[in-house]
């Protein structure tokens, strides 16, 4: 139960970070404060660097729940939590890659025709 909650929470946290970066960095492109290569590099690097800290925090919190509330104990909770962390990190990399490819495409579209992102 806690392991599944950790998996869902970790994936939601990573996806929220990716979307927040997407909106924030796209706004800087529209405002023409940063060039396209800089924004693309920041986005890819931020997603790549954030995978491990997010999953470390989720694992430590789930570990805390298991140790504080014995009702959550099962025979192999540590192995299940380890697998959930590995699966979650792999899914986060896949989600991050998809978001980063989409972000890169949007930035290139904006570079080709900046009026595509202006609000009428």
Residue ranges covered by each domain of the chain: 2-117
Give per-residue pLDDT as tens, 36-54: 888 889 999 999 999 999 9
Residues of the chain with pLDDT > 70, as a percent, come to 88
Q: Provide the token pair at 18.
A: 């990716």
For residue 66, is pLDDT > 70? Answer: yes
Of 1, 8, 2, the C-alpha closest to 87 is 8
Q: How confident is the model at residue 32 (pLDDT cuts 50, 70, 90)?
A: confident
Of 36, 6, 4, 17, the C-alpha closest to 95 is 17
The conformation of residue 17, written as its DSSP 8-state character, comes to: H
Rg (CA), the chain: 18
Give per-residue pLDDT as tens, 94-117: 999 999 999 988 888 877 776 655
Of 88, 91, 96, 70, the C-alpha closest to 4 is 88
């Amino acid at each position: 139960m806690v392991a599944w909650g950790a998996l869902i929470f970790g994936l939601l946290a990573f996806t929220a970070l990716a979307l927040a970066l997407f909106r924030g960095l796209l706004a800087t492109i529209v405002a023409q404060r940063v060039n396209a290569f800089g924004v693309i590099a920041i986005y890819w690097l931020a997603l790549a660097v954030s995978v491990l800290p997010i999953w470390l925090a989720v694992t430590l919190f789930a570990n805390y729940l298991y140790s504080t509330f014995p009702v959550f104990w099962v025979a192999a909770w540590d192995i299940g939590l380890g697998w959930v962390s590995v699966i979650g990190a792999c899914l986060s990399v896949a989600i991050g890659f998809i978001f980063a490819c989409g972000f890169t495409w949007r930035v290139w579209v904006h570079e080709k025709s900046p009026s595509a992102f202006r609000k009428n």
